């Protein structure tokens, strides 16, 4: 588990530094922030991504396994690892749920 977290942390640091011109306009939803226009940036071919917009400095999901991801959110310029695992929603593949912290994130 420590190895996975270390890998995710390194990946997120690289990810945060790489928000680039490849970001696309999207509509996002995070249960703690509501709906907002955002920039969506696919960061890896495995499906990992970062979104930002509204009052969200940065929210990233880093794929751990097919349909499972670790989450990070940027607060006050600092990256914070989120507890639990995000699971792809079966009813909308653009959405991910984390039952441990009761957070849902979607990007369309």
Task: Flag whether pLDDT at 106 surpasses 80.
Answer: yes
| CA-to-CA separations, 68 to 9, 37, 46, 55, 96, in angstroms, rounded | 16, 25, 11, 25, 9
Task: Flag whether pLDDT at 64 surpasses 60.
Answer: yes
Parallel, antiparallel, or unpaired: how do β-strands 34-42 and 24-30 relate?
antiparallel
Q: Which tens digit of pLDDT belongs to each residue from 13-61?
A: 444 444 445 899 999 999 999 999 999 999 999 999 999 999 999 999 9
């Amino acid at each position: 588990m420590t190895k996975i977290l270390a890998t995710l942390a390194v990946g997120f640091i690289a990810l945060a530094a790489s928000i680039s011109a490849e970001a696309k306009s999207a509509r996002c939803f995070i249960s703690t922030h509501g709906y907002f226009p955002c920039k969506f940036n696919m960061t890896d071919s495995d499906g990992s991504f970062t979104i930002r917009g509204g009052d969200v400095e940065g929210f990233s999901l880093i794929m751990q396994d097919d349909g499972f991801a670790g989450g990070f959110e940027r607060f006050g310029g600092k990256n914070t690892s989120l507890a639990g695992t995000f699971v792809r929603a079966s009813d909308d593949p653009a959405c991910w749920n984390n039952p441990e912290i009761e957070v849902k994130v979607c990007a369309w």
